[in-house]
Amino acid sequence: MSATAPAAHPPFPRQIGLWRGVALNMIDMVGIGPFITLPLILAKMGGARCMAAWLLAGLLAICDGIVTAELGSQMPHAGGSYVFLRESFGRAGRLLSFLFLFQILVSAPLSMASGCIGFAQYLEPIVPRVGGHIPVAATLICAAIVVLLLRRIDAIGRFSIILWIGVLGTMAVVIAAGLPHLKLSAFAFWSAPRFDGKAGFTGLGAALIFAVYDYLGYYNIASIGDEVIDAHKTIPRVIVISILAIAALYILMQACIISVLPYEVASKSTSVVADYMRVLAGPRTAQWVSGMILWTGFASIFSVMLGYSRILYAAARDRNFFAIFARLHATGSYPFVAILFLGAVTAVFCWLPLRHIIAGILTIRAIIPFMAQIVGAVVLRVRQPDRPRPFRMWLYPLPAIVALGLWGYVVVSPDKHLRVAALYVMAAGVLFYFGREALTRRALRTMH
């Protein structure tokens, strides 16, 4: 770790406005996730009661999003949650922000690798030869995204609009095809029969985990705060708009699918949207829609890598990580070292089996940053009540209480299967942090 400040650099150009920000958030949130988790959520809830999971996950997202919006409006800087944790907890903030960074080093490339592998698997029905070369195809997708990210943020902003249009187009086609067949009973989840023989809302915890996963990404705009135009106002607006839009699309898409496909078919499908389109419009249309789903998956990986590269940059600029990650491109003003690092690690993970990738994604993220930064927002209100807050949490402290309670439920749910390995990673982060601090103090004493 460097003990010196990173070299002077040109400021990030502020090129991301409201709609480019909404585009980046929404393409991050959608991805391939909902297209592969729909049958899992349906199976856990035994039918149309799956709507309860989507609604509860939407409630968690909007409550936590409002907390993030308040923090983002106060601290619109590169790094997002890293900055929030550092500033909210005083002296302890440096440790918590470091722990967030420490787990990001592993969880971020794992998440992106799972997206690349999922993309390659969805590509196989369209290009059968990919079937025997999934790791190669996933690595090539990773490399293509890195190349696209090595450019100025204004170019990325324009490209994000194109990707966003593709994402909205995919959702629009899927929903429009099913609207004529939509049954209003699909929304009456409280009285829907269970086809698996289980009672009430058994399995809600597991279904909620899948649904919450599909909403993640609403905080992405906060990670690039230094590049957002009029960030104090834009960040909260982007977060709220993207969450509400995605919630409406998810719920409507799920209702259309369960109105068309029988439970036995939908809950066991590995490509439920393709099966749904095949029933409604034939195999050729199903293939085209599969291609559109690939577009959304590519867009999501693109947006995720963009956000995480800024977190590494912010930590290095803060002298809390290797100084080399604070280096910006001389003319493009983008953190090229962070982008290349994430791309390289992700490419390595692309050669692991997908089931191992999914198992390795750290579930500890629910605690750091999500639960920690909710507590931090409340602590900051107590410690600095007069601090300027361009956006104030609606109905404070209700959103914080609801979000904290729901994240707590996700963590302690019997269906969560919180992995001990995740706790080992956190423990390793604590040891690494205090070991580094001890070495730094010893070096300073030696100098004096």
Give the tens place of pLDDT for each residue, 180-201.
999 988 899 998 889 888 888 8
Say which CATH number the domain at 388 has: 1.20.1740.10
The share of the chain scoring above pLDDT 70, in percent, equals 88
Predicted confidence band at 52 (pLDDT cuts at 50, 70, 90)? Answer: very high
Q: Provide the pLDDT for residue 359.
A: 46
The reply to whether 9 falls in a domain is no
Q: Which domain holds residue 86?
A: 18-447
Specify the long-range contacts of residues 277-284, CB closer than 8 Å, at least 24 apart: 277/174, 277/177, 280/177, 280/178, 280/181, 281/177
Q: Kindly report, residue by residue over 354-399, the tens digit of the pLDDT.
A: 655 654 565 667 888 899 999 999 999 999 999 999 999 999 999 9
Q: Kindly report, residue by residue over 153-177, the tens digit of the pLDDT.
A: 555 666 667 778 887 888 899 999 9
Q: Please give the residue that has the higher pLDDT: either 267 or 166.
A: 267
Q: Kindly report, residue by residue over 69-117, the tens digit of the pLDDT.
A: 999 999 998 788 988 999 999 888 989 988 888 888 888 888 888 788 8
Confidence check: pLDDT of 1 > 50: no
* Average pLDDT over every residue of 395-420: 80
Count of domains observed in the chain: 1
Q: Provide the pLDDT for residue 234.
A: 95
The reply to whether 4 falls in a domain is no
Look up the pTM and report it.
0.82
Q: Provide the pLDDT for residue 8.
A: 42
The reply to whether 325 falls in a domain is yes
The reply to whether 31 falls in a domain is yes
Predicted confidence band at 421 (pLDDT cuts at 50, 70, 90)? Answer: low
The reply to whether 251 falls in a domain is yes
Strand partners of residue 16: 228
The reply to whether 13 falls in a domain is no
The reply to whether 296 falls in a domain is yes
